[in-house]
Amino acid sequence: MPTHPALPSEQSLETLFNEAEQARLTGQFETARTLLDRIVEQAPGHAGALHTHALVALASNQLDSARCYVERALEVRSDPAYYGTLCVIGIKLRAYASALQAAERGLAIEPVSPALHFFLAVILQVQGRSGDAAVAYRRLLELKPDHPQALANLGVVAKDLGWLNEAERHLRRAVELAPSYLGARASLSQVLLAAGRYEEAWPYFEDRWANFVDADGRPASERPTLPLPQWKGERLDIANASQGMPESGARLLVIPEQGHGDSLQFVRYLPMALERFARVHYICPPSLRRVYEESFAHLPGLVMRDDGLSDLSDWDWHCPLMSLPMAFGTRLDNIPAGNYLHADAARSASWRARLATLPDAELPRVGVVWAGGHSGLTEDKARSLTPAQIAPLLALPGVRWISLQKADDPAKRADAALNARLTDWMDDVTDFADTAALIDNLDLVISVDTSVAHLAAAMGKPVWLLNRFAGCWRWLRDRDDSPWYPSVRLFTQSQRGDWNGVLERVAQALRPGAPPFTRKSYRSSVR
């Protein structure tokens, strides 16, 4: 008679499962996989083992494998926890529609699950459905009033909806509950900055690295840790003595951070730093180096470097670029707001000669940027227009439209119809020094909130900023000018996503008289 292998006992499977769970919790993923494979081989319908397999794959960032395992587990048993895991996987894969469906199915089984309410709110938030996300976070907080991450996220959502007072309340509560929650502190700084309360905001802004993400939504950087003291505005004669340094001749290394627009806005502080230090070196993004060197050529103690972190023996102090406003005690009424960037004269003359070859030379020259970079970020989707959306503005007669658009995404490139209305030489532009020279020959720049707007404004060129609803903190709220740039005029959405209203106001402002009109009359109208 043939013999059959004995069926595994529930007790032996439970022992293997407990060992696998312990291995997973201690990070011994290969051991966990081996044990789980043994369980699934003997009991293919063991839902717990399948789900734990999914958790191990998720911890190893094997997202497709994780999804496969959790879906197999759900075929065996509809468990709310399994749906929660499926939500996490969907969020990481940016499969938001399926993640939302998983959250809803889990909540149908367990309506009071805090985890599933949290996942639901997060998914709605990353989809840009801020109003729905606010409702979902409030439901969660009814279940768990002291949930720091829900409070912090609701604060961010409230800020995005323009509710600064509510945002501040939630974020302060999150910080109160979890003082070491750096993300909440960083978000609170954004709210305070948007409200113009700079002196309160700067200390919280020192935790901004906690919220930096790359185009894929992953943490992008950490606060730089250098074996040098950070200069925070101290009197150097006193501070140097306490640090055992010479009383004079101190040297400052300025660390770069964030995007090109941030660099362009805050390099205004470098000449001020040079008034305190004998030498100031800024580790400069390569595409900005030439325009900075040409603009600050009159300051020999201010040097742009490609790299300064390999050998720190030349420096006494360091400061991240965007910590300089705090070091100088910046308030709304003392922002250093002069023109501080300039185009090279010879390069500008070359562009001028090229522009002179175009027909209708008397038409006003208006540079235009309709989309930012970093297409994967939620903020870029909110600040950028499509070529189809900007097309009606570029159809206005009597204007020589000059493209200043660089695109990281083919969808942002001008189509044939748009190109027919544009002069586009941006393929010949290699860095911001080239862009500055072209801008130098324009009468106006119309741009979304991106680096070109900062460059043109830092040069003193009139800039009309197409600003999203409840946009970046630096443009504040409820005003059409900027204390950072006297030449900027803000055209802000009155409600989320309403670019048509913005463009209608811009079109009206572009008509000082019946077009065509001359560059001379146009210049006086935009200033």
User: Is residue 389's pLDDT more than 50?
Assistant: yes
- Mean pLDDT over each residue of the chain, to the nearest integer: 91
Vertex 148, ends 146 and 151: CA angle to 5°? 90
Any domain includes 218: no
Helix (H) / strand (E) element for 446: namely strand 444-448
Residues 174 and 316 in one domain: no
- 287 bridge partner residues: none
Report the CATH number that the domain containing residue 424 is assigned in CATH.
3.40.50.2000
Three-class SS state of 77: coil
Whole-number percent of the chain with pLDDT over 90: 81
pTM metric for this prediction: 0.90
Choose the final residue of a domain: 334, 361, 386: 334
Query: Which two three-digit tokens encode residue 519?
Result: 């560059």
User: Is residue 506's pLDDT more than 70?
Assistant: yes
Any domain includes 115: yes
Residues 358 and 320 in one domain: no
Any domain includes 371: yes
Residues 155 and 33 in one domain: yes
Any domain includes 50: yes
Q: Distance between CA atoms of 82 and 55, rounded to whole angstroms? A: 10
pLDDT value of position 8: 55
More confident residue, 416 or 477: 477
Helix (H) / strand (E) element for 488: namely strand 488-492
Q: Distance between CA atoms of 231 and 320, rounded to whole angstroms? A: 9
Residues 19 and 145 in one domain: yes
Choose the final residue of a domain: 334, 361, 377: 334
Q: Distance between CA atoms of 113 and 84, rounded to whole angstroms? A: 10
User: Is residue 138's pLDDT more than 90?
Assistant: yes
pLDDT value of position 238: 60
Helices (H), 110-162: 114-126, 130-143, 148-160
How far out from the chain centre does Cα 347 lie? 32
Residues 327 and 353 in one domain: no
Give per-residue burial for 152-180: e unless 16+ CB within 10 Å, then b.
bbbbbbbbbbbbbebbbbbbbbbbebbee
Q: Distance between CA atoms of 311 and 364, rounded to whole angstroms? A: 50
| Per-residue pLDDT reduced to its tens digit, 45-83 | 999 999 999 999 999 999 999 999 999 999 999 999 999
Residues 285 and 180 in one domain: no
Q: Distance between CA atoms of 100 and 343, rounded to whole angstroms? A: 50
- Whether residue 512 is preceded by a cis peptide bond, meaning omega within 30 degrees of 0, is no
Residues 466 and 381 in one domain: yes
Residues 109 and 247 in one domain: no
User: Is residue 100's pLDDT more than 90?
Assistant: yes
Give per-residue burial for 18-34: e unless 16+ CB within 10 Å, then b.
ebbbebbeeebbebbbe
pLDDT value of position 220: 66
Residues 160 and 33 in one domain: yes
- 219 bridge partner residues: 213
Position 345, amino acid: A
Choose the final residue of a domain: 211, 226, 246: 211
Domain residues for the domain of 502 are 345-526
Domain count, the chain: 3
Residues 25 and 149 in one domain: yes
| Per-residue pLDDT reduced to its tens digit, 242-299 | 565 555 689 999 999 888 999 999 999 999 999 999 999 999 999 999 999 999 999 9
| Per-residue pLDDT reduced to its tens digit, 332-359 | 999 999 999 999 999 999 999 999 999 9
Any domain includes 225: no
Whether the CA torsion 296, 300, 303, 304 is positive or negative: it is: positive
Three-class SS state of 302: strand
473: confidence class by pLDDT, cuts 50, 70, 90: very high
Residues 388 and 460 in one domain: yes
Report the CATH number that the domain containing residue 89 is assigned in CATH.
1.25.40.10
